[in-house]
Amino acid sequence: MNDLLSDKDFETVHDILVEQLGVRSDQLTPEAHLRNDLGADSLMEIEIGMALEERFSVSIPDEQLENIRTVGDVYELLAKLLGSRSD
């Protein structure tokens, strides 16, 4: 999964997810479902989005944030946003 982001960005996202979700690092597999597996609620998902926006200076449209279901989705979305920022 970390082939989408630089190692530094991957670790930053990983740390944000651990902090916001209150889970162990080893629980953050790409397939882990934010709500079903990690106990996220809608407020936590918004806080994750805000933390990513602040840390990476990106804007995450609400409709894209609503489509995030798994940890892998978070990494993919951020990679897409960072990639489009450099175009």
CATH of the domain at 78: 1.10.1200.10
Name the DSSP letter for residue 25: G
Q: Does the annotation mark 41 as catalytic? A: yes
Residue 61: what pLDDT? 92
85 — pLDDT class (breaks 50, 70, 90): low
2: in domain: no
pTM for the complete prediction?
A: 0.88
Domain count of the fold of the chain:
1
For 6-46, the pLDDT digits (tens) are 999 999 999 999 999 999 999 999 999 999 999 999 999 99
1: in domain: no
Helix (H) or strand (E) holding 76: helix 71-85
For 40-66, the pLDDT digits (tens) are 999 999 999 999 999 999 999 999 999
Domain coverage including residue 47: 7-85
Segment 57-83 shows an average pLDDT of 94
37: in domain: yes
Q: Active site residue: 3, 9, 15, 41, which one? A: 41
> Phi, psi at residue 70, to the nearest 5°?
-120, 170
- How far apart (Å, rounded) are the C-alpha atoms in residues 27 and 6? 21
Residue 24, CB-side half-sphere exposure with 13 Å CA sphere: 2
| Best CA proximity match to 18, nearest among 1, 43, 39 | 39
25: in domain: yes
Residue 13: what pLDDT? 96
62: in domain: yes
